[in-house]
Amino acid sequence: MFTATLALMLVLGAGMQDHKPDDIVEVKEVCPTIRYELRYGTPRNGVKRAVYPKGSRCMLRRSAAERLCLVQKRLEKVNLGLKIWDGYRPPSAQQALWDVMPDSRFVAPPKTGSKHNRGAAVDLTLVDAKGRELKMPTDFDTFSPAAHPNYAGGTEESRTNRDTLRAAMLAEGFMPDKNEWWHFNAPDWEKFAIVDVPLVAPSQKSP
């Protein structure tokens, strides 16, 4: 009996070691109900062209993905959900963004790196139960005063949606960006190093 119990403990312990908070993981593996559309894999971003390759994965640090799953579950109770526009971002993509928008209010300089490069930041919006994006004060990567989290213009509906998103994210510990309503940082982002992880899984790459 002792031997069997010890063996089970060793197996469980090994399993726990295989899942570390600082692992870079695909968000869908942690929370399958979160929707995503990586905007940097399309022209619908500040660069106006795709900077991510086809088949790119939506990734975050495991601890950030697990925290985001709590936000998703919170929103599902009121028939809402999350849609991710960007998560982990490779340093090369950070350089591409800086080349187009060298403004540290909206894009972190490549020499210092972004919290996205650490896998500890996420850009997202709200969707309804059918996955339709809710109206917000601006679209993604709109580098203007209207992107400010406290922008008082626009419609009441868009401001309410923006504030609903922020409240849900804050409730689970995420920190808002001061210039972009869609950007949130994991509270422990500083402990993560900048990494260069391929967005496309090796099994998906052409031979």
Residue 205 has pLDDT above 50, yes or no: yes
Domain range summary for the chain, segments of one domain joined by +: 22-199
Quick one: CATH architecture of 22-199?
2-Layer Sandwich (3.30)
Q: What proportion of the chain, given as a percentage, has pLDDT over 70?
A: 88
DSSP state of 107: S
- The mean per-residue pLDDT over the stretch 115-137 comes to 98
pLDDT-based confidence at residue 101 (cuts at 50, 70, 90): confident
- The mean per-residue pLDDT over the stretch 15-41 comes to 87
Cite the DSSP H helix spans in the chain: 2-17, 27-30, 62-76, 91-100, 156-171
